Amino acid sequence: MWDYIKYYLAPLTLVLAIAGMLHGGAFVWTGLAMLPLLAVIDSLLPPDLAKRQIKNRTLAFIPIWLCTLLCPTLYVVMAWVVAHQALSGWEITGLVMSCAWLSVLPGVTAFHELYHARGRIGRTVSRYAQVCYLDTTRMEAHVVSHHRDVGTAEDADTAARGETLYTFAGPAVIESTLLAQRIESDNLEKRGYGRWSIRHHLWRAILAQVIFQSMLFAIGGWQAVAMALTAMVIARYWIETFNYFQHYGQVRVSGTPIEKRHVWNHFGTLSRLVAFEITNHADHHLNSYLAFYELVPHRESVRMPSVFVCFFAALIPPVWFNMIIKPALREWDAHYATPEERKLAAEQNRKAGWEDWSAQPAASH
């Protein structure tokens, strides 16, 4: 039972954040405080390389559903707090940042699990729960494009070598959003409808956002709407920062099979739990229908530090480049890349202004 119970850490973070919002004062920062708290603990604990002993899918998905429903609830609670409490600027900032962070983790990871599942109800609910970060069409770009193009120049979620977190996130938001609309339009055209038919998911996405914001307005007025939209925009950008760590600098020849080696894995004990194994996702790219608890840690991969460590390191690009990602990429190029991929890697290194380690002797593996 322990393997079932420990995934409740994710909805627990949401419950604690909601309690903090309702209590008021400095407690409104509880949600955001989860980020440094989890980061420190996850970095101190040993890596978790265990395979989960879970057999009952229904029981396993309860915390997924709790997170999916609690994330929009965060915004409703924030609107209620706005309506019933006199808030200082400090408290407003805490509310906004807490909603933004929790929309990313565990929000996006719970939604991601449901829209990869085969159940129509789960896919539909997770699609519209993504109002929490203004991206209810995200499923199209992720499932259709990312899982096909990962590691190639065509994938908006794969950061090229030399890109910083700051140069990557903005364009990735725009590219993935436009790509989702293009994929949907192409699909409608193939089915004999207009490219911008009323059947297009974009119109339902806009309607969902209007309905949700109207509800927040009815509870907390324009201040609640403004705070919610601010949190959602921050969350939308924040999401792309995690794509940055999952695939940074990976290269793959277009059209060749996707293999376990084409992703980075982060086996932090807590990050595996609160992110519903999205940091342990080598198997996920081989079979996207596998449930989170069926993913087996790829022990032979390049060992990366906690995803939280990667995030804070990337805020200072020289630290990220020199202490984490260059050593990892050098090992990957030497021991995991094919000859064709090494050529692509060397070209990316050249464009980034990095040293050419392809001509240097590789360290023993």
> Using one digit for the tens of pLDDT, what is the confidence trace for 58-90?
999 999 999 999 999 999 999 999 999 999 999
If you count them, how many residues does the chain have? 365
> Any idea what DSSP says for residue 151?
T
d(CA 89, CA 227): 11
pLDDT digits (tens, 9 = 90+) for 311-362: 999 999 999 999 999 999 999 999 999 999 999 999 999 999 999 997 665 4
d(CA 20, CA 31): 8
pLDDT digits (tens, 9 = 90+) for 212-227: 999 999 999 999 999 9
pLDDT of residue 364: 42
Average pLDDT over residues 15-25: 98
CB 51 within 8 A of CB 121: no
Residue carrying structure tokens 């081989």: 286
Q: Which two tokens stand for residue 348?
A: 């990316």
Q: Rounded to the nearest 5°, which phi and psi values hold at 251?
A: -130, 145
Rounded percentage of the chain residues whose pLDDT exceeds 90: 93
Q: Which two tokens stand for residue 218?
A: 């009815």
CB 240 within 8 A of CB 172: yes
Burial tier of 75 (Cβ tally within 10 Å: 0-12, 13-18, 19+): buried
pLDDT digits (tens, 9 = 90+) for 168-183: 999 999 999 999 999 9
Residue carrying structure tokens 């984490």: 324
Domain ranges of the chain: 2-350
Residue carrying structure tokens 């692509």: 344
Over the chain, what is the mean pLDDT?
95
Rounded percentage of the chain residues whose pLDDT exceeds 70: 98
CB 54 within 8 A of CB 3: yes
Burial tier of 212 (Cβ tally within 10 Å: 0-12, 13-18, 19+): buried
* pTM, full prediction: 0.95
Between residues 141 and 307, the one the model is more confident about:
307
Residue carrying structure tokens 């309702």: 22
Cα angle: 284, vertex 285, 290; to 5 degrees: 30
> Any idea what DSSP says for residue 353?
T
pLDDT of residue 281: 87
Sign of CA dihedral 14, 280, 314, 348: negative
Residue carrying structure tokens 């908006």: 156
d(CA 295, CA 52): 8
Q: Rounded to the nearest 5°, which phi and psi values hold at 257?
A: -60, 145
Kind and range of the H or E run holding 30: helix 30-44
pLDDT of residue 360: 61
pLDDT of residue 363: 47
pLDDT digits (tens, 9 = 90+) for 97-112: 999 999 999 999 999 9
